[in-house]
Amino acid sequence: MKNYLKKIHKIIYFLFIFCFFLFKTIKIKAVCPLCAVGIGIGLGLSRWLKVDDLISGIWIGGFLMSLSLWTINWLKNKNIKFKFRNFFIILLFYFLTIFPLYYYQIIGHPLNKFLGIDKLLFGIIVGTFIFLFGVWFHNFLKKKNQGKSFFPFQKVFIPILFLIISSLIFFIIIY
């Protein structure tokens, strides 16, 4: 199991470095690379600190949804269209993450359950919806303020804040 965790740490580290240099030169969009990097840092930190899989899953879910939305936005700006584009992009990101976790038996361990669902998978589902709610809440606040953010980096801060709050809530529930 430790070898798998080391591999995951290396993969997360590589993805962080890759995303940092890839997104460094790209103009920030609606769901931005900065948000994805912030979530990636939180995820890497949670695995390094040996945080429970449910809480790590929350950050994985937020990270995957952030990357999915950013990729969809990027494809839209490049005028790349195909049938079921949004569905395919989201499905691809989640499949490429969940399948290897299942294959290496990180997901699916019978003693690693919360409410009858694998902790990591449950966290991914919760994190996905928490992140989407954070994006929606940012857009709601922006609409209330005549299309302007209330403070700098609001679109990054709010989804990450919601992920932090949900992580703290589940931390209290678990421990």
pLDDT (tens digit per residue) in 157-167: 899 999 999 99
* Per-residue model confidence (pLDDT) at position 26: 40
**92 by DSSP, 3-state: which?**
helix
What the block records as the tokens of 31 is 């769901």
* Per-residue model confidence (pLDDT) at position 152: 85
Position 129: which residue type? F
**pTM for this model (two decimals):** 0.72
Structural domain span for residue 159: 2-10+34-174
Please name which of 72, 16, 79, 20 lies closest in space to residue 43, comparing C-alpha atoms: 16
Residues of the chain under the 50 pLDDT cut? 15, 18-19, 21-30
26 occurs within a structural domain = no
19 occurs within a structural domain = no
58 occurs within a structural domain = yes
29 occurs within a structural domain = no
